[in-house]
Structures are given as structure tokens and as C-alpha cells.
Chains A and B, each alone.
Chain A
Amino acid sequence: MMSHLVEVPELETERLRLRLPLHAEFSTYRDLFGSSRARFMGELDELRAWREFAAEIGLWALFGYGPWHVLRKKDGALLGAVAVLKHVEQPEIELGWHLYDGHEGHGYITEAATVARDWAFETHGFKSLVSYIDRDNARSIAVAERLGATEDKTAQKVDPEDVVYRHNRVMQ
């Protein structure tokens, strides 16, 4: 009997805990994903969202990085997600994030993305990470800038509507 056990590191900040997303949390992911993509067929939303959710989790087994769900330590509330990702169409390693409804304005994503980014640099030795952000997403751009990332106009994009922010590893 073979069991693939993949240690998914738990990361911690002052207010937050980052850990593997659970299937029980898929509905929260789907609700955000569906609404933000604004697809025509609700059924297709669910299927596509599940495939994305499953595919990202699969990355942990394949590469040893992937998505975390972000929980508030105080009450265990599910706030959002951060992820270190590489899908083949992305030319570089991505640092991504999303916030679930009702948790804006507290700096949670900046706090979570900071620890995830530092973990990726330290554990995997990446020299830089990129974030692909819709050019109209002011909030995410603000997060990227708070993380110290700068826009890289020469970087290869995934979506033409994206801007690419680069996080460079700062050697201590």
C-alpha cells in the first residue's frame, strides 16, 4: 500500500496561520472564483473552480510548493489564500494571493504574502518571484508594492491585461 505523504509547511505570522487548503473550504474558493470570473454558466463555474482548486493542490505533490489558506489565529476565520505557483504557461514562479469577502482593509494579504515569499526564497532558493495582476486591480497592485515589488515591464505576461510585479530576493 503506497501512500504519498507530502509535508506541506505551516507558516505563521503575528496574526495569521497559513496551511494547506481543505476540501471543506472549496465552497468559499468557488464563491469568489465564480464571481470574479463572471462566467455565463453557473455550472461551468463550479467545475472550473474545482479543477483550479484541485490542480493547485496537486502542485504540492509535484513540486513542493503550492497554495495555502490563510486563517486568523484569534478565531480560526478563513481570510484568503496565498500561493507559490508554476503552471506551465507561466514563464516564472508566481506569488499569488486572493482575499475572501469581508476581510479587506486589515493588511492580512500583505502579512501572509510576506511570509510565503520569504519561505519560497529560503526553501527553494528562487532568485525572484512574479505576481501577475490585472492592471485594474488597484488593491492587489498596492499589496505588491507594499511587499517591495516593482513593476517589470519587460517580463513575459500570461494575460495581456496583466501587469507583472517582480519580487527580488534580498540577500542578507
Chain B
Amino acid sequence: MSGTVDRPILHTERLILRPFETRDVEPGVEYLITDRSVFMGGPYSRHDAWTHCCHLIGHWAVRGFGLFVICLKGTDEAIGDVGPFRPEGWPENEIGWGLWQPQHEGHGYVTEAALAARRYAFEVLGWETAVSYIDPDNARSLAVAKRLGCTLDTDAAFPDLPDWDGTLVYRHPNPRLASR
């Protein structure tokens, strides 16, 4: 992690993760208004997409942490987001992720980013446990969760929101307990 406590920057082999910022609203909106965001409650109207992105920025201000955007190393353009997420109403801490453009699929970027973000959440934020809330039809995200070593937790609650029935809760292993 580099940067500052308020504005952490995570480095992975191919990626830079930095906090969601105002210049990321535009690519975020462009993603949310498409069908690709269906597992996140999309596609959204432009207004709702904009509000959602503002939420992600505000989350950092209120919580002191939030979703990082994923940038290919050497560039500043957000191609997705990943990281610690706990808005009001969430029963527990979540690690979320999303890749915004189809051409970035299939390279392992999400797994690479999620590993770094999760390590940050556990080691720097001091989380003891974390989950990911995943739509049962979201095969891609289910695959990522498995690659991250998550296990299905059928006892865990998920946010009480419309259209969330049937959401699967995957629990992350604590990297501090796993062998390096």
C-alpha cells in the first residue's frame, strides 16, 4: 500500500488500485447504464447511475474506506472497482468487485485486484471476516469467489433490499490465518 492513510494506493503485478474519485464517475456511469450491470441492480438510468457513483465517493468520506477503482498499471482510467464496502444497512463487511468493460474480462484482473483489496481490508482495516453478496446467476462472480477461497455461508444474512431474494453469501478466508 502506498499513498497516504486517507488515500491508499494498492499495487499488484499489473494493476493500481486507488480510491474512487470524481473522474471515475463518467466511466462508472457508462458501465451502470448497460446490461452488464444487471447483477448489480442495473441497468440504471443515467440519473441513478450517477447517484450510485456519488455514493461510492461519499462512502470513502463517511467510512474512511471504500471501493477502489482498478486501473491498468501506468494508466489512470478506471476499468472496474473492488474492495471494502459497508454502506448503512449492510449486516456485515463486504468485499465487492465489478469489471466495467467486456474487453477486460478473462485476464484475471478481478481476482488479482480482489486479493490485494481483501488483504488491505483484513490487514490495514483490521477486519476479522468479510463476505461477498453474489447473485446466483452471476457465474463470473461465483468463479471469482471460488478462486478467492470463499465458501458459501447459508446462515449469513444479506441486506434487506428489494430484489435481493436468493442472494448468495460467500465468506472469505482470513488471510492472516492462511499460510503465505
Contacts and interface: CB of A to CB of B under 8 A. Distances in A.
B14 A24 contact: yes
A64 to B, nearest CB: 16
Contact of B75 (A1, A22, A76): A22
A1 B7 CA distance: 9
B3 A1 contact: yes
Contacts of B76: 5
A1 B2 CA distance: 8
A132 to B, nearest CB: 27
A99 interface: no
B103 A24 contact: no
A22 B75 CA distance: 8
Contact of A23 (B3, B4, B73): B73
Interface string B53-74: 0000000000000000000111
B2 A23 contact: no
Contacts of A24: 14, 72, 107
A1 B9 CA distance: 10
Contacts of A57: 74
A7 B111 CA distance: 28
A23 B14 CA distance: 8
A20 interface: yes
Nearest to A1: B3
A77 to B, nearest CB: 10
A22 B74 contact: yes
Contacts of B14: 23-24
B72 A76 contact: no
A23 B75 CA distance: 10
A22 B72 CA distance: 8
Contacts of B7: 1
Given A1-B7, A23-B73, A76 B103 contact: yes
B50 to A, nearest CB: 23
Contacts of A22: 72, 74-75
B47 to A, nearest CB: 27
A24 B76 CA distance: 15
A20 B75 contact: yes
Contacts of B73: 23
- Taking each of B72, B74, B107, which has the highest tally of chain A beta carbons within 10 Å of its own beta carbon? B74
Interface in B1-22: 2-4, 7, 9, 14
A5 B74 CA distance: 9
A23 B103 CA distance: 15
20 contacts: A1-B2, A1-B3, A1-B4, A1-B7, A1-B9, A5-B76, A20-B74, A20-B75, A22-B72, A22-B74, A22-B75, A23-B14, A23-B72, A23-B73, A23-B74, A24-B14, A24-B72, A24-B107, A57-B74, A76-B103
Interface of B: 2-4, 7, 9, 14, 72-76, 103, 107
Interface of A: 1, 5, 20, 22-24, 57, 76
The 4 closest A-B pairs by CB, nearest first: A1-B3, A76-B103, A5-B76, A1-B4
Given A22-B72, A23-B72, A76-B103, 17 more contacts: A1-B2, A1-B3, A1-B4, A1-B7, A1-B9, A5-B76, A20-B74, A20-B75, A22-B74, A22-B75, A23-B14, A23-B73, A23-B74, A24-B14, A24-B72, A24-B107, A57-B74
